[in-house]
Structure 1
Amino acid sequence: MDILTEALGSMRTAHPASVRTDGRAPWALRLPPVAGAGFHVVLYGTCWLVPVGPVGPAASTDPAGSAGPTGPAAGREPVALSPGDVVFLRDGRGHVLADHPDTPPVDAKSCRVDGNSPIGTVSLGGDGARTTLLCGNYHLDQGRPHPMVRQLPELIHLPTRHGRHPELAAAVELLGSELENPRIGSTGIVPALIDSLLLYILRAWFEDQPAETAAGWAAALRDAAVAPALTAIHEAPATPWTVESLADRAGLSRAAFARRFTSMVGEPPMAYLTRWRMTTAARLLRESEAPLTAVAAQTGYGSEYAFAKAFKREFGRAPGNYRREARAA
C-alpha cells in the first residue's frame, strides 16, 4: 500500500490546471490564491517568487541551507529561483513571480493565454533576459485536508541542480522538452507528467528530512511501529481494528503505541481509522455505483444505518445526498 499516493488521491478533486509562462525582463506576474495547491517549475532562466500576505515557515532544501525555515521573516522574504527549481505552495496562496522583486506586477487575469501549445502559454514583459516556467495548481480538497498534507510547510522549494532529486529533475527535464518542442503525443504526455509531478515533489521533500530529526508524517512513514499500522489501516479499513490489535502489529504496548502514533500522525489511531474509513466511503460514493450497504461493508460498518449515521456526523449530510451533490458538481 502506497500511503502517499492514497492520501493525495483522497484529496484530489480534478486534474491539475497549468500554463507555460514566458517572461522577458522586466516582467512580474501577480497570481491570485487558488483552491488547492500551487506549483511552479523553472524550465529556463531565473526569477523570484515574492510571497503576498502573511505566510508561515517556508521549507527549503537549497544546498546553501538546511531543510526548515529559511530567510528572514520565515518565508516572507522573496525566494530566488534557478533553472530546474520546483516550488510547491501547500495552500495555493497568492504571490508574485518576477524577474526582480521590485518590478511592478501585472495581474494574471489580465494576461491572454495562447492556446497553440499542449497547455497554453502566457507571454509578458520587455525584451530582456528570458525566463520560462510551468505554473499551475493541483485541485485538492482543502475543506478536508489529509493530515499528511496539513503538516507540510506552506512553501517548499526544491532545487534539482547538481544531481539533487534525480527523479524530480528527470521529470522537469521531460516537461521542458515537451513544452519547448511539442511533438506527436505531447498533448497526452504533458498532463500525465504534471499529474505525476506532485508525487515527485512530495517524495523528494519527505526523503530530504533527516531521519534523526524528522517529525510528524515525515517520521511516521518510515517508523518501524507506526508505518505498518498506517499500512494496515489503508489496506483494510473494513477490518475491526482496535488500538490493541494495531499495537500488536507494531510490537508495542497499547499505551506506547497510542502515544507514538498520535505524536507523529497528529491524531489518535481510532480517530485516524475513522477518518480513513470516511475518506474511502466518500470516494466510493463519488466514483462508483455501489449501494450504500456495500459501501458500509467496505468501510467497516455492520449496517447501512450505522454507516449513514457516522457519515452524516463527518460530512454534515447523508451519504445519498453527498453522492447526488458530487455527481452534479
Structure 2
Amino acid sequence: MILDPLEDVLSLAEVRAERAATLTGHGDWALRFPAPAGAKFNSVLTGFCTIHTEGVEPITLRAGDSFLLTRPQEFVLSTSPHTRPLPASPLFRAADGTSAEAGPMDQPVTARLVGGSFTFGRRARELLLDALPPLIHLPAHADGAAMVPHILTRIDHETRTGRLGANVVSEHLAVVLLIDVVRYHLTHHPDGAGWLHGLNDPVVSTALQTIHADPARRWTVQLLADAAHVSRSTLAARFKTTVGQGPLEYLTRWRLELGAHRLTATDQTIATVADAVGYGSEAAFALAFKRELGTPPGSYRKQTRKQDSPLPQSCHPRVSGTFQALQEGKGS
C-alpha cells in the first residue's frame, strides 16, 4: 500500500487553528505584528500591501495573494516604506481581536486582509516547519490560492460561534491550507533540500513511502533500493543529495519521532514502544533516543506528558502496518 509521508508528519505536527481576524487599511499605513507562536497566514482581499520580515526580501501582496510565515519572528505589513510602523496588537485588542483598522480613517481603503494563526505540537518545528522557508508567498494564480480567504473566514466563523465540532473543523481547515502551501512550494522549488523535497524525486519518494508504510521493519539500503528499482549506490546518493542524510539515518529519526509520540500519548511501557517502532531492545531504543533527542525516553515522557481523550485510529501515524489508538495532546 502506498502511503504519504506528508500525511504521517502532519498527524504528528498536531495543527491547531486559532481565531482569524480582518484588517482594513486606509491611505498610507504600517503595522508591526509580534512573532507568532507557530505560523501565520494572511490573505489580501482587496488592494495591496508589502510584507517585511527579517532575512527575506520584501514582497508586495496584491488582491488574491496570500502568505505563510513559518518562523516565530516579527513582521511588518505596510502600504508605504516611509510610514513608521505602529504595533498591531493594541488595535486588535481594542476590537476584541476580530478586526482592526489602520491609517487615516478619512482616506480611501488601500487594503483589506484576513489572517489567522496556527499552533502546533512540540515536535512540529523540527518535523515540518524547519523544512519550509521562513516566508512562502502564494500568488493569486496558484492552485488553492483562491480558497485561502474563504477557509480563513470559515475558521473565524467556527471559532467565534463554537458550534458542535468547531475545533475539529478548524483543525482540518488549517491542514488544508498547509497542504496547499506545501504543494505550491514543492512545485515551484523542485531543487530544494530536505525530506519534503525528497517527495519530488521519484526514487527518493518511493523509498520514503516504503519507510513510512512499515517503519518497524528491518530495512537495509538494499531492500529500499529494490523497492525503488534502482541500485543501492544510486538510492544512497540520491537520498543523501535530496534529503541531506542517508536513508537509514532518516529511518532512525522517523522511528524515534514515532516513539516520542507514543511516549507522550500512551501508557505503553518503554519496552513496548521500542518494539513497536523497530528496536530489538529497550536499551537500544533508549540509547538512540537519548543520542538524537537529548534525553532518555523516561525523562522525555515525564517532561512532555499530555493527557487527552483517544482519537479514532485513522488519525494516527502508521507503525508496523497498523493504526494505533493513541491520545492526541494539545498544541504548545
Q: TM-score w.r.t. structure 2 length?
A: 0.78
The equivalent residue for 1:252 is 230
Q: Is contact 1:27-1:98 (8 Å) kept?
A: yes
Q: 1:40 to 1:144 in 2, by over 3 A?
A: closer
Cα offset, 1:218, TM superposition: 6.0
Q: 1:135 to 1:47 in 2, by over 3 A?
A: farther
How many residues are matched? 298
Cα offset, 1:30, TM superposition: 0.7
Cα offset, 1:145, TM superposition: 1.4
The equivalent residue for 1:90 is 70
The equivalent residue for 1:169 is 146
Which residue identity is paired with 1:172? P
Q: Is contact 1:312-1:319 (8 Å) kept?
A: yes
Q: 1:17 to 1:177 in 2, by over 3 A?
A: closer
Which residue identity is paired with 1:84? G
Between stretches 217-226 and 283-292, larger displacement belongs to: 217-226
Could you say what secondary structure the match of 2:76 adopts? strand
The equivalent residue for 1:62 is none
Q: Is contact 2:42-2:113 (8 Å) kept?
A: no
Could you say what secondary structure the match of 2:67 adopts? strand
- Any idea what the Cα deviations from partners look like across 1:11-37, whole Å, max 9, x if unmatched? 44x623354132322332112333433
Counterpart pick for 1:319 among 297, 302, 311: 297
Between stretches 271-280 and 213-222, larger displacement belongs to: 213-222
Cα offset, 1:282, TM superposition: 0.9
- Any idea what the Cα deviations from partners look like across 1:158-214, whole Å, max 9, x if unmatched? 1124xx31x34224334346758987959554554234311121122223346xx67
- Structure 2: distance between partners of 1:115 and 1:5: 37
Q: Is contact 1:19-1:122 (8 Å) kept?
A: no
- Structure 2: distance between partners of 1:291 and 1:124: 55
Cα offset, 1:262, TM superposition: 0.7
Q: Is contact 1:229-1:250 (8 Å) kept?
A: yes
- Structure 2: distance between partners of 1:271 and 1:249: 18
Counterpart pick for 2:257 among 279, 286, 298: 279
1:32 to 2:10 alignment: no
- Structure 2: distance between partners of 1:197 and 1:143: 16
1:111 to 2:112 alignment: no
Q: Is contact 1:43-1:132 (8 Å) kept?
A: yes
- Structure 1: distance between partners of 2:103 and 2:81: 14
- Any idea what the Cα deviations from partners look like across 1:94-117, whole Å, max 9, x if unmatched? 21012323221112343343676x
Runs of 4+ residues deviating >6 angstroms: 180-184
1:228 to 2:206 alignment: yes
- Structure 1: distance between partners of 2:289 and 2:162: 46
- Structure 1: distance between partners of 2:124 and 2:280: 28
Cα offset, 1:239, TM superposition: 0.5
Q: TM-score w.r.t. structure 1 length?
A: 0.78
Percent identical among aligned pairs is 34
1:132 to 2:108 alignment: no
Q: 1:151 to 1:323 in 2, by over 3 A?
A: closer
Q: State the superposition RMSD in angstroms.
A: 3.1
Cα offset, 1:242, TM superposition: 0.9
Cα offset, 1:139, TM superposition: 3.2
- Structure 2: distance between partners of 1:326 and 1:178: 28
- Structure 1: distance between partners of 2:270 and 2:145: 41
- Any idea what the Cα deviations from partners look like across 1:248-300, whole Å, max 9, x if unmatched? 11122211210011111111111101110111111111222222122111111
Q: 1:29 to 1:245 in 2, by over 3 A?
A: same
Q: 1:312 to 1:104 in 2, by over 3 A?
A: same
The equivalent residue for 2:82 is 102
- Any idea what the Cα deviations from partners look like across 1:59-117, whole Å, max 9, x if unmatched? xxxxxxxxxxxxxxxx33x211112211122323321012323221112343343676x
Q: 1:143 to 1:205 in 2, by over 3 A?
A: closer
- Structure 2: distance between partners of 1:195 and 1:108: 26
The equivalent residue for 2:136 is 156
- Structure 2: distance between partners of 1:104 and 1:135: 24
Could you say what secondary structure the match of 2:152 adopts? helix
- Structure 1: distance between partners of 2:132 and 2:93: 32
The equivalent residue for 1:60 is none
The equivalent residue for 1:63 is none
Cα offset, 1:232, TM superposition: 1.3
Cα offset, 1:322, TM superposition: 1.0
Alignment gaps of 5+ in structure 1? 56-74
Q: Is contact 2:38-2:117 (8 Å) kept?
A: no
The equivalent residue for 1:15 is 16
Between stretches 102-111 and 280-289, larger displacement belongs to: 102-111
